[in-house]
Amino acid sequence: MKRLFIIYLAVICIFSSCSRIPDSAQDKKEKSMHRNAGLVAGGITSVQSVQDKAVKEYVKSSSLHDKVCQLFIENIEGDTVYVPVEKNYIPGGYLFFSYNLAETPAGIMKFTDSIRAYCLDHKVIPPFLAIDQEGGFVNRLRTVNGPLPSAKRVSEKLTVQEAYRLYSYQARQMKALGFNMNIAPVVEIQTSENESFLDGRSFGSFLNVRSYAVACVNAFENRGIGTVVKHFPGNTNTDPHTGLPEIQLSEQELEESLRHFSQLSRISPSGALMSHARTKAVDPGVPACFSKNWVTDRLRNQYGFEGIIFSDDIFMGALANNGYPPETAAEKAVEAGVNCIMISEKRFSKAAEALIKRAKSDREFAQLIDSSFEKIIRYKLKSGILNFYDDGGKLLIKAGRISGSIDDRCSAFEKARKENIDLYITYF
């Protein structure tokens, strides 16, 4: 990685060294710059090629069991010291609810640190740590973080630039606490068909969603917190915790309501979360998270989304009460192209074993698992959960160490929290 940093510095030096010199000398200078720039570009490409090879080798050398475990994000047990519920099934990610949060920032840090420490001690791939930090009533960190209004209030009270600052302060606090991912923002456009369900969780109109969602995604991602935009392709006023939403829009109306997703894809949020909604005009009768048409053909290929595609919680009543127990739901999600399966339970071994069994007899299904595993590993490298290490000229992938003492992180947390509060007082 030091080599890559040196190459980037070389680029800066090359393109900042131009000064007023005679024309003939300038011609020579420009030719030299072009040659050097070509060498730098080639060096960057070479580094990326070596890293890509290391990732491919890592995927190839990992066991099927480890690959499948990385395809799940589940709820975590406790709020003080990490103890896995299923010792041989450590998921790719953990989802925190309010009851998983200690009363103080330092207490939360000790808990999140204990997860990384356990994985380092047991040579397990560390999970990413995620939480729903949308704002308003979906605000898991309300007892410790500075105030975070709902998306609706943010779009009403703040400019896009001010919203970026607010979300940056939240990201800095989350990072200090030990989180890597925010299952937010909601990027659905609010309509009469979904407003009672969204209840202030949307930025509102198409223009508001497009501009404020970009600010939100960029603010978190730039501070090292992955974002997961949700819910694709949308919802209705039916709560998916209890029933399956049915979107009645025509195909043309659906396309119009989703055109901002292709724009959001260009700023590379780390993830996108599928809804359980069924759409009358496209793949009717199939929940979107099980639809290859929605997951792969549209979100991945048509809209060009390159991040991790998540299912919504497969333990929700919308699926369980309509013939999709978790084991069946997990298989269907992978078939559709989902990379990470969300389950709010604290056990996922039965669903994981169903995927392992299927992969052993179905080569194409096994390839889908490999592809998803690779995406999750690449995210963990980007976020520092995993790192590249030079082992005598061979590039290896290993778990990254905990960064910074709890005292230092508490100081960083309090600084960001104060700035967060000052902004809130000023504008709200």
Residue pair 287/324 in contact by the 8 Å Cβ criterion: yes
* Beta carbons within 8 Å of 354's beta carbon, 6+ residues apart: 327, 328, 330, 331
Q: What is the predicted pLDDT for the residue at 20?
A: 41
- pTM, two decimal places: 0.89
User: Which secondary structure element, helix H or strand E, spans residue 163, and what is its range?
Assistant: helix 160-177
Strands (E), 203-321: 226-232, 246-247, 271-274, 278-279, 308-310
Angle between helices 105-121 and 406-427 (to 10 degrees): 140
Widest pairwise Cα distance in the chain = 78
Nearest Cα neighbor of 411 from 179, 106, 81, 166 is 106
Q: What is the predicted pLDDT for the residue at 32?
A: 57
Cα separation, 104 vs 109, whole angstroms: 9
For the chain, which residues make up each domain, given as ranges?
A: 1-10+28-61, 63-415
Query: What sign has the CA pseudo-torsion 396, 397, 399, 402?
Result: positive
Domain made up of 63-415: CATH architecture: Alpha-Beta Barrel (3.20)
Helices (H), 230-337: 251-265, 292, 317-320, 326-336
Helices (H), 317-397: 317-320, 326-336, 349-361, 363-382
* Torsion angles phi and psi, residue 347, rounded to 5: -135, 135
Series of mean pLDDT values for 10-residue runs along the chain (428 residues): 44 42 50 55 76 96 98 97 96 97 98 97 97 97 98 98 98 98 97 92 96 98 98 90 86 92 93 96 95 97 97 85 90 98 95 98 98 98 96 91 91 98 98
Cα separation, 314 vs 351, whole angstroms: 10
Cα separation, 277 vs 18, whole angstroms: 57
